[in-house]
Each structure stands twice: as structure tokens, then as C-alpha cells.
Amino acid sequence: MTRFLIMMLSMFMLAGTVMAQSQPIKPAAPTQSAPSQSTIEPNVLRDAGLRVARAVDAGKEMDLWDGSSPVMKKAVKREEFVSSVRNTRNPLGPVVSRSWVSIDLQQMSGQGFPPGQYATARSVASFAAGRSLTEIVTFRLDEDGTWRFAGYVIR
């Protein structure tokens, strides 16, 4: 779990808005047949980020991990991911509202994570416990040309 958090924090610091989750399962994955950054539709990534956040709301962390990028699966075990997300989210209570904030695309390499193209979708969620926090969902364009979930953090 520590390795996963360090990887995710490194990505966030380096890219300025990193952390994402993408998957080929229907609730959260934008797909793309060619790895060209210029053909990525920002609205597709925004919507996929919101679907991932809603999947977390619904307790579908296992499904998210199952459909995630091989990069994420190498970085963190399924049980660690599920436990980490639930330990962070459960004390906050249900989401009262969520607003999309931004989409960022970065070409990443080094700093403890595999090189590649990453996309980050940010939203601000207000929780029943009275806090508003930023959710950061990260996707990676995998070698097969498919965007997949690669991380989720809330801060």
C-alpha cells in the first residue's frame, strides 16, 4: 500500500493533477483505438472520471481494480487498493454533490512509474460529513491503445 501511495503522490506532484482510474468495465473506461493525445475527447475523459467516482460511491472498488491498467495492478494489490479507498472514503459519508473541475493530459516517465500518456480528471465532492474534497481519477493509455483506470485519490 505504501508503494502505491508513493507512486500516486509522485505522479500528483510531478503532473500537478495526477491520479486516475480507468478500466474497460462499463462504469468507468474511456477507450481509444489510437494512442494519439490530440484525438482524446476531453468530455469522454471527464465523464469517465465521474463514472469512476460514482463507482467508488457505490462500493465497486474491486470492479475498478479488476478492470484497471496493468500498471496499477503491478503497483498495488487488489485488497490494498480496496482497503485504502474505503478507509479514506467511508468516514466522509455519502456524496451530497460533485462538480467537475478539470482534465489534464501528461506524458510521464521516470519518478517511480512507467512511462506513458496519462489523463487526470478532477472533481470536487461535498460529503455528508460536511467536507468538500478534490477527487483525482487517473487513466493511462495502455500499449493496446485503450485508456484504463490507473488511480484514485481524494484530498
Local structure of residue 16 (DSSP, 8 states): S
Cell of residue 3, nine digits: 508503494
Looking at the DSSP bridge assignments, the partners of residue 112 are none
Residues listed for the chain: 155
Cell of residue 140, nine digits: 493511462
- For 89-115, the pLDDT digits (tens) are 999 999 999 999 999 998 888 667 788
Helix axes 2-15, 78-89, angle to 10 degrees: 70
- For 17-40, the pLDDT digits (tens) are 333 333 332 333 444 333 344 356
Q: Are 152 and 67 in contact (CB under 8 A)?
A: no
How many whole angstroms separate alpha carbon 155 and alpha carbon 89? 10
- For 38-51, the pLDDT digits (tens) are 356 889 999 999 99
